[in-house]
Chain A
Amino acid sequence: MKKITRTWIINGESRSVETPPARRLLDVLRENLDLKGTKEGCGEGECGACTVMINGEIAVSCLLAAGQVKDGAEILTVEGLERTEGGRLVQKSYLDKGAAQCGFCIPGMLVSTYAFLRKHPEINEETIKDAHAGNICRCTGYVKIIEAVQAAAERWPANEGGPS
């Protein structure tokens, strides 16, 4: 099969992959780039476990073909959260509030939280629920996830994010 080369900024590092253009971004991340933090829960864009951030917007990586993601795109996966103050804050907040149980939805959930908070939207329970409605969690009942997002929002660093 014909392959293409793509160079993306993944978690702050420039990385090139050679891949069939129709290969799912999820598989390229997990298998070609060994970023196993991103999970497959349904493979059809319903559960959000494979959520990543591309150029500041969240996307489900199981529904994107590698060829659809342009050269130079900035991709953030769960492994990249540690690089920023906001990302570390979100991780710690989930931990402190008990928002991770089995943890399988958490990589996608955390990326949704991070993308939501760095856009500085109006933060209240309703906007938080809306922003995470595409991430299904079967363990927590979402209560502690919402608490974690609220706690992170209260201490969100001023220099973090803004729509890119």
Chain B
Amino acid sequence: MAVKERSAYRNVGQGIVRLDGEEKVKGLAQYADDVPVPDAWYGEVVRSPVARGRLRALHLDPSFDFDRVCVVTPKDIPGKNIVDLMGQDMPFIAFDDIQYRGEPVALVAAPTRELAREAAAHIKPEIEKLPSIETIREVVDKYLNGHPDDLHEMAAQTIVKGNISDGFAAADKIVVGEYWAGHQEQLYIEPQGMVAIPEDDGGVFIQGSLQCPYYIAPELIVTLNLPLEKIRVKQTAVGGAFGGKEEFPTLIAGYCALLALKCRKPVKIIYDRHQDILYTTKRHPVWTRQRTGVKKDGTITAMEVDFVLDGGAYTTLSPVVLYRGILHTTLGYRCPHVFVNGKVFRTNTFPNGAFRGFGAPQAIWGLESHMDEVAAAIGMDPEEFRLKNALHLGDATGTGQIISEPMGTPDVLIKTLEQSRFSDKRALNTRGRPRDGKYHGIGLSFFGHGSGFTGDGESRLKSKAALDLEYFENGKAGVNIRISSTEMGQGTMTIMPQICADGLRIKIDQVRCPFPDTKYVPDSGPTVASRTAMVVGGTVFGAAEKMRKALEEFASSSLFGGEIVELDEDQFTGAISGKSRSFQEVATAYLKQHGNLRVYNQFKLPDTIKWNQKTFEGDAYPSYSWGCNVAEIEIDALTLELKTTKVTCYFDIGRLINPVLAKGQVEGGLIQALGYAVMEKMDIKDGLYDASRMQTYVVPTALDIPDFDIHFIEYPYGHVAPGAKGVGEMPMDGLAPAIANAVVGALGVRINDLPITPEKIFRALESRREMAITA
């Protein structure tokens, strides 16, 4: 399918001001805690104080008057006591096994938050304590040292290409590296929040801060024992999500709904920040070991990867995080022999879940640190080594997917190297000898990011979009976009009208994209996986073309005496008469004559996409975005404080829909990646995250940001117009290894464990000094 030339677009490609911006700068946007809900009760969760055990009893303190409150225990659940996510292994409310500290044992609602908390404090679980495993270090220790029976494997997947032993046999050198990273908290500024309102027909209306309305509604069917049409879900304004509001909101929505259906009152739960950090999902901690065979001339002959994720207590989405992770452990490079062994194991901590990048940042952290190590081992420059092995048009990935249309590999790499003057600056690396009281280093990373669902996921999902031609409340005719894609700051509410207006060829002020409500919108799939602009955008564009044709036909027969009519630049024009009527005139005539017009469209992957979900062979993603990061750093020789001074990058995200919003995504993602790389530290203490408040979980502020030099190169996705690929996740992928590689340049030692804190730099320098003394 041909992609239109850029000139065909009026709104796509323009940095128009975000359409939900005005209400945001006026303080009028209504987030979950701002929506007025008369007579709402407040919900609280009673939680397990131990990480693993067996629940023996639940004691309600007789001195407390429980008649004033509503308590929900497993016996009050109308359906099955499970959270309908992958594995179906997580109960909504624990009734026997306890698998993590903080696991719910009861729910409480009361007319005030204070009373709900007081009631919760008077419910005491009696738990027989059992031994627990709480960290990725314990998992890997057991995995590598012959105690696999102590571990609970939640998911496993391999990727096999060629024959790995042949690959190693052909190598002149084999290089091994291990890389670790800990938890990362999404830290959206608006904490999780949800309200459930019981409906007269026995159903429930759920509103709140969420990414995926069509996760919550179908997932609660089993638990609430209600049909889908009686579980209505509507999104409020969302104050950031980053994956943290992908699968988790089903839990808080379920707590509210269970309480609301029992006490017949609206029930609201807004987590405070401490609760939000302790009892919501995090990025999966990882251990990855890369073993690469390479020839003296730099040709990669074999890539063998172990990739282990800490899944937390229950399966949730971990298998899919694993899949995206392993698919990115070798991505970007030509290699005939690949073996990737991925596993997720249980730990007794809150289930880990979706976070911007979804396994890819963990994989690319290992891969791109390792590529520098491989280059160094054969005495090659890191840029030269990458240029030699980077995928070109016609090359195959680790799953055998052929790069079949022009993409940003290796273009982003070439351009970033030039723009940053990488090779010149690399010569100035201090390699452990400070200059003017500082260590200086420059580092590189190059990476791809799969756009859309893994494999043939988009074929199974059949993303739908609808457009409604109807009257707006201002009396004008206009088009409402009905999709389940959510605005969470990234710009859905702005880019969709841009795309729709261009598909219809009308002015954008006649198009709107309201908050999704499952009562009105079809399932366009979740707002995840860098798929919204590409897949849902393409589906909306197709729907807009259909609506344009329908209106052209109507205009022709009703207003133009049957001649051929074309809608362009907001005007319907007769091919013969040359006379014109505006979109408003024709749309109003249509509405008067026929009433509202709804048009549907559905996304379809091209038939050429072939994927084997069992063997992980074939076309792993519909397309790929590409990026390259060059980081320049300084480390104070006295305090060992690391400052990232400059980041240069090129990104290929396909067709740019809105350059201002796209750049905002990149800047924000890079800063979140900066936090992951050097600041955001979270360990487990007594089964809980030790950094459980904003005071202790430190994220970048305005004082921490580097100079940015950000560029885009457009290689549009050819299958659907307008040809966007993903932008949301990719900025998270590559900065940590670029900084780690810069640290090697600055200090001459590698740190293989994120985040790279001054303490770790100190230890790395000390161990090098000790090695120098003993040598």
Minimum Cβ distance to chain B for residue A41 (Å): 5
Question: What's the minimum C-beta distance from B242 to chain A, rounded to whole angstroms?
Answer: 7
- What residues on B are CB-neighbors of A49 within 8 Å? 189
**Closest chain A CB from B673 CB (angstroms):** 10
Quick check: A100 and B189 within 8 Å, CB to CB? no
CB of B31 within 8 A of CB of A104, answer: yes
Q: Does residue A43 face the partner (Cβ distance < 8 Å to B)? A: yes
Tell me the bound Cα distance from A91 to B21 in angstroms.
10
* Contacting pair A102 B17 (CB below 8 A): no
Contact of B664 among A96, A98, A129 (CB under 8 A): A98
- Are B239 and A136 in contact (CB-based, < 8 A)? no
Question: Interface residues of B, CB < 8 Å — how many?
Answer: 55
B542 close to chain A: CB less than 8 A: no
Q: Does A47 contact B (CB under 8 A)?
A: yes
Q: Determine whether the beta carbon of A142 is less than 8 Å from that of B693.
A: no
| B313 interface hit (Cβ, 8 Å) | no
Quick one: CB contact mask for A16-55 with B, threshold 8 Å, 1 for yes?
0000000000000000000011111111101101000000
- Residues of B close to A103: CB separation below 8 A: 20-21, 24-25, 29, 237, 239, 489
Closest residue of A by beta carbon distance from B273: A42
Residues of B within 8 A of A94 (CB): 21, 25
Q: Does B89 contact A (CB under 8 A)?
A: no
Contact (Cβ within 8 A) B239 A102:
yes
Contacts of B15 in A (CB 8 A): 98
Chain A residue with minimal CB distance to B674?
A: A141
CB distance B694 to A91 under 8 Å?
A: no
Residues A100 and B24 in contact in the complex (CB < 8 Å), given A39-B190, A138-B189: yes
Flag whether B670 is at the interface (Cβ < 8 A): yes
Indicate whether A82 reaches chain B with its CB closer than 8 angstroms.
yes
Residues in chain A near residue B668, CB distance under 8 A: 101, 137-141
Q: Which residues of B contact A123 (CB under 8 A)?
A: none
Could you tell me the distance between the alpha carbons of A151 and B79 in the complex, rounded to whole angstroms? 57
A120 to B383, CA, bound (A): 47
Partner of B702 from A78, A104, A129 at Cβ < 8 Å? A129
Q: Is the CB of B17 within 8 A of A138?
A: no
> Roughly how many angstroms separate A157 CA and B24 CA in the complex, as a whole number?
23
In angstroms, Cα B239 to Cα A144, docked, is 17
**Closest Cβ of chain B: how far from A18's Cβ, in Å?**
17
Give the dominant DSSP class at A's interface: loop
Could you tell me the distance between the alpha carbons of A128 and B702 in the complex, rounded to whole angstroms?
Answer: 9
Indicate if the CB atoms of A98 and B705 lie closer than 8 Å: no
In the complex with contacts A40-B33, A94-B25, A106-B25, A130-B703 CB distance below 8 A: yes
* Contact, CB under 8 Å: B701 / A101: no
* A118 lies within 8 A of chain B by Cβ: no
User: Do B702 and A98 have beta carbons less than 8 Å apart?
Assistant: no
CA distance A96 to B186 in the complex (A): 27
Given A101-B664, A101-B668, answer yes or no on A142-B189 (Cβ-Cβ < 8 Å).
no
Residues of B within 8 A of A101 (CB): 18, 240, 489-491, 664, 668
Q: Which of B187, B242, B671, B695 contacts A44 (CB 8 A)?
A: B695
Cα A4 to Cα B173 with chains together (Å): 78
The CA-CA distance from A82 to B699 in the complex, in Å, is 31
A58 lies within 8 A of chain B by Cβ: no
Complex interface: chain B residues within 8 A of A110 (CB):
25
The minimal Cβ–Cβ distance linking B39 to chain A, given in whole angstroms, is: 15
On whether the beta carbons of B188 and A138 are closer than 8 Å, the reply is: yes
User: How far is A130 from B29 in the complex, measured between Cα atoms in Å?
Assistant: 27
The A-contacting residues of B in range 181-213, CB under 8 angstroms, are 186-191
With A43-B272, A79-B26 as contacts: A136 and B701 at CB distance below 8 Å: yes
| Chain A residues within an 8 Å CB radius of B672 | 138, 141
Q: Are A104 and B705 in contact (CB under 8 A)?
A: no
B27 touches A107 (CB 8 A): yes
Whether B667 contacts A102 by the Cβ 8 Å rule is no
B488 on interface, CB distance cutoff 8 Å: yes
Contact yes or no, B190 A140, CB < 8 A? no
Confirm or deny: A10 has a beta carbon within 8 angstroms of a beta carbon on chain B: no
How many whole Å from A127's CB to the nearest CB in chain B?
11
Q: Which residues of A contact B671 (CB under 8 A)?
A: 141-142
- Asked whether A145 is an interface residue with its Cβ less than 8 Å from the other chain, the reply is yes
If A47-B694, A146-B702 touch, whether A91 touches B664 (CB-CB below 8 Å) is no
Q: How many Å lie between the Cα of A137 and that of B694 in the bound state?
A: 13
Within 8 A of A (CB), among B1-37: 15, 17-18, 20-22, 24-31, 33-34
A83 to B667, CA, bound (A): 32
Question: Are B240 and A141 in touch, CB under 8 angstroms?
Answer: no
Q: Is the CB of B699 within 8 A of A138?
A: yes
Instruction: Mark B668-704 against chain A: 1 for CB-CB distance below 8 A, else 0.
Output: 1111100000000000000000000111000111110
Q: Is the CB of B239 within 8 A of A36?
A: no
Q: Which residues of A contact B694 (CB under 8 A)?
A: 41-42, 44, 46-47, 136
- Indicate if B238 sits at the interface (CB-CB under 8 A): yes
Residues of the B chain whose Cβ atoms lie less than 8 Å from the Cβ of A136: 189, 694, 699, 701
Closest beta carbon of chain B to A10's beta carbon, Å: 13
Q: How far is the CB of A87 from chain B (nearest CB, A)?
A: 10
Asked whether B189 lies within 8 Å of A98 as measured between CB atoms, the reply is no
A133 touches B488 (CB 8 A): no
The yes or no answer to B86 lying at the interface (CB within 8 A) is: no
Given known pairs A41-B273, A101-B664, A102-B238, the reply for A77 and B27 (CB within 8 Å) is: yes
**B190 & A102 in contact (Cβ 8 Å cutoff):** yes
B335 is an interface residue with CB less than 8 A from chain A? no
Residue of B nearest to A129 (CB): B702
**Chain A residues whose C-beta falls within 8 Å of the C-beta of B274 in the assembled complex:** 43
Q: Is B708 in the interface zone, CB < 8 Å from A?
A: yes
What A residues does B669 contact at CB under 8 A?
A: 141
Contacts of B242 in A (CB 8 A): 138
Does B660 lie at the interface of the complex (its beta carbon under 8 Å from any beta carbon of A)?
A: yes
User: Is the CB–CB distance between A104 and B189 below 8 Å?
Assistant: yes
CB pair B25 A91 closer than 8 Å: yes
Q: How far is the CB of B66 from chain A (nearest CB, A)?
A: 23
B661 in the interface (beta carbon within 8 A): yes
Nearest A residue to B35 by beta-carbon distance?
A36
Residues of A within 8 A of B (CB): 36-44, 46-47, 49, 77-79, 81-82, 91-92, 94-96, 98, 100-107, 110, 128-130, 132-146
Provide 26 A-B residue pairs closer than 8 Å at the C-beta atoms, listed in order of the A residue: A36-B34, A37-B27, A39-B31, A39-B239, A40-B191, A42-B694, A47-B189, A79-B27, A101-B491, A102-B489, A103-B237, A104-B31, A105-B189, A106-B24, A107-B27, A110-B25, A129-B705, A133-B702, A136-B189, A136-B701, A138-B699, A139-B240, A139-B489, A141-B672, A142-B667, A143-B708
Known: A98-B17, A102-B188. 14 other contacts (CB 8 A): A36-B27, A39-B189, A43-B272, A78-B26, A101-B489, A101-B668, A102-B238, A102-B239, A102-B489, A103-B20, A104-B240, A110-B25, A138-B188, A144-B667
Listed in ascending order, the chain B residues whose CB lies under 8 Å from chain A are: 15, 17-18, 20-22, 24-31, 33-34, 186-191, 237-242, 272-274, 488-491, 660-661, 663-664, 667-672, 693-695, 699-703, 705, 708
Top-8 shortest CB links A-B = A37-B27, A104-B239, A102-B489, A103-B24, A78-B27, A141-B667, A141-B671, A46-B694
